[in-house]
Structure 1
Amino acid sequence: MSEVSLSDGITEKGTAPIVSVNMPVYNCAAYLTEAIESILNQTFQDFELIICNDGSTDHSLKIVQSYAAKDSRITVITRENLGIVATRNEMLAHSRGKFIAVLDCDDVALPHRFALQVKYLEEHPDVVCVGGDTRLIDGKGRYLTTLLHIRGNEAINESALAGNGAITHSCAMMRSDIMRSVGGYDPDLNLVEDLDMWLRLGELGKLENIAEPIVNYRLHAKSASELNGLEQRQAAKRACEAASKRRGIACQYNSGELWRPASDADSKHKFMLQYGWWAWINKEYKTAAIYGLKAIKIKVLNKEGWRLLVCALFKRK
């Protein structure tokens, strides 16, 4: 599927680390420092960090190069823009580790993430990919809520076959040999290359989520999921249909709902309320008030935004 050879990790640096961290970068200067620091500050330190700058036009490359100059574990690939799937496959081809950990450049790994995941994979040789729970933050780093992901191989496969992510990509740690055996990421399934990967890995081994938050996942208006929500759902259906055909079962796809705001006012209003109520439930009252105001700005006459704002200011748990 990829133009990059996926047969072996490149070994020119000598002893291979346990974990190869793959971080794709495209115009992510606002969040990049925090993402890189979260990797360098892991309690588990036997890793390499491979960063591919996919033709950024901001100062992302300068940030990456400044870290690489100080830490020999960082490998920088930089070139013209080829897109996210080509970028992920190129990093996979350069990875020398037993395990591949993904962290997108706008997310933040919690300090214990690698320690938990390496231990789990070492103790469960039949598991080919492990994720974990996800703390959702917004573009300003404000905490919204924690998503408790599905547990158990059967349930995760069932969810993936229905078109749901099941495992957050930035939480994933996978066995590199199994990733290579399935040919890496499929360039024909851009926007859902992660879902397709879980479906194909799930045909060779077990999938699991650790029952603990391991990543701060950032929700912001410039993310691919938010910019291309409808196209992402269409691609997810194709991935599920292909997986169902490989497995010899009827397609179970039923995930037509967008999980991020679309461009229309109704969708944006709905999600501002969602984020605000998440924050209110978690006693993040200032954040809840901010999202109440955002909802009011979109639909000033709709009472729901005003209700959220009043609860955030006066009705606290």
Structure 2
Amino acid sequence: MATISVLLSTYNGQKYITEQIQSILKQTFSDFVLYIRDDGSSDDTLNIIHNLASTDSRIVVINDVSEDTNTNLGFGESFSTIAKYALTNSDASYFAFCDQDDYWEEDKLEVALSYFEKASSDTPILFASNYYICDDTLIVTGTFNETNPMTGVTFENLFFEGVFPGFTMMINRKLAELSFDNNYSKDIYYHDKWVTLIALGLNGQIIYSEKPLAKYRRHSDAVSSTNLGIIKKIKWRVDKVLNGDFCPRTRQMLKCFSELFYSQVDTETKRFLDTFNSSKIFKKTFYPKHLRRSFSGEVMLRLILLLGKL
């Protein structure tokens, strides 16, 4: 069986999916299986995937080999379905996450694997890397972070902000089982946050490579707060959070983590989980530890808590 399972959920991704899959198939480390589940695309994505699968036996289209149909489950449940299928149907030691519109450097899996070979398989391990920021045509405009973005990050921070995007990640089987071999993972939307939370919360190992191993497309029509002043940035974020899915998804993650791992964490972590799973607005609002790393992010979150939205 293959050493690595690569997990990819697709949805209306016909524009870039061929380029992404081809970048995976060209990896210098070739002992992997690419598990793909299409989440009910209305464009030509699934046909493109089938055409590529017909040329390479390492591609498994889950829609075709399980009772799963081309149903729109939503990103979180679709990704969880792929992870569960790969855990059940392979003995892979490692699981790499993939997005449909990015591009992998040819040594991405080889470099990641070299770090795991130095670590214990009994410990939950997460690997993530730096990446190139590109325009729609993959012209490089910058990199994500030359230094480890986990520096100074606490367990509490991870519920309220992401650190590593999923497409930079590879995890070992121990962490994959803890993350996805349960009845809760289908309710988790942010699988990248989820595996990072579990690795940190259960005293696992988190490894970061400063070498960029993927290209991330920053689409020209994407809305960003990058160029806003601090007051406008806070307002933009509050509006985005209040009118989006951040609060219900964060509450769900708090609940699921507590249900699964409460007995395995220390007293301080239990106190945090108890506080934020409660309805005590002021206790949450004035929680004594920083919850976000940036000032604007911290102010935004405290306002959300004071309003009783989280």
The amino acid of 2:198's aligned partner reads R
Q: 1:156 to 1:215 in 2, by over 3 A?
A: farther
Q: Deviation per CA, 1:134-179, whole angstroms, max 9, x where unpaired?
A: 1111223232210116538664545843733222210000113322
- Whether the aligned pair in 2 keeps the contact of 1:132 and 1:212 (CA below 8 Å) is yes
Q: Please report how far the alpha carbon of residue 240 of structure 1 lies from its aligned counterpart in structure 2 after TM superposition.
A: 7.7
Q: Select the residue among 53, 62, 73 that pairs with 1:77.
A: 62
1:221 shift after superposition: 6.3
Map of 1:146 onto structure 2? 143
Contact 1:163 1:237 in 2 (8 A): yes
CA deviations on 1:68-89 (whole Å, 9 max, x unpaired) are: 0010110012311111112111
Residue-by-residue CA offset, 1:197-248 (whole Å, 9 max, x unaligned): 210222231112112101111222678999x953354357547856698623
Matched, 1:234 2:247: yes
2:169 to 169, 172, 183: 172
Corresponding residue for residue 132 of structure 2: 135
Of all paired residues, the percent bearing the same amino acid is 24
Partner Cα separation in structure 1 for residue 252 and residue 152 of structure 2: 18
| Residues 212 and 133 (structure 1), Cα distance of their counterparts in 2 relative to 1, 3 Å cut | same
Distance 2:219 2:14 in 1: 14
1:64 and 2:52 aligned: no
1:285 is aligned to none
Cα offsets for 1:283-315 (capped at 9, x unmatched): xxxxxxxxxxxxxxxxxxxxxxxxxxxxxxxxx
How far apart are the structure 2 equivalents of 1:108 and 1:31? 9
Residue 82 of structure 2, aligned match among 82, 91, 101:
91
Kept after mapping to 2: 8 A contact 1:135/1:217: yes
Would you say 1:123 and 2:118 are equivalent positions? yes
Change (3 A) 1:124 1:157: farther
Aligned pairs (5 A) from 1:104-115: 104-115=99-110
How many correspondences in the alignment? 241
Residue of structure 1 equivalent to 2:229: none
SS of corresponding position for 1:248: helix
Query: C-alpha offsets along residues 262-287 of structure 1, whole Å, 9 cap, x if unaligned?
Result: xxxxxxxxxxxxxxxxxxxxxxxxxx
C-alpha spacing 1:124/1:137, structure 2 compared with 1 (3 Å): same
Q: Which residue matches 1:253?
A: 291
Q: What secondary structure, in the 3-state scheme, does the structure 2 residue paired with 1:101 have?
A: strand
Contact persistence 1:152–1:208 (CA under 8 A) = no
Q: TM-score, normalised by structure 2?
A: 0.68
C-alpha separation between the residues in 1 aligned to 2:104 and 2:240? 24
Kept in 2, the 8 Å contact 1:195–1:236? The answer is no
Question: Partners of 1:137 and 1:123 in 2: how far apart?
Answer: 32
Asked if structure 2 preserves the Cα contact closer than 8 Å seen for 1:157 and 1:207, the reply is no
Flag the 1:171–1:223 CA change in 2: closer, same or farther, 3 A.
farther
Cα RMSD for the two superposed structures: 3.2
Equivalent residue runs for 1:20-35 within 5 Å: 20-35=5-20
For 1:254-293, list aligned pairs within 5 A. 254=292
Structure 1 Cα separation of the partners of residues 223 and 200 of structure 2: 24
TM-score for both structures, normalised by structure 1: 0.66
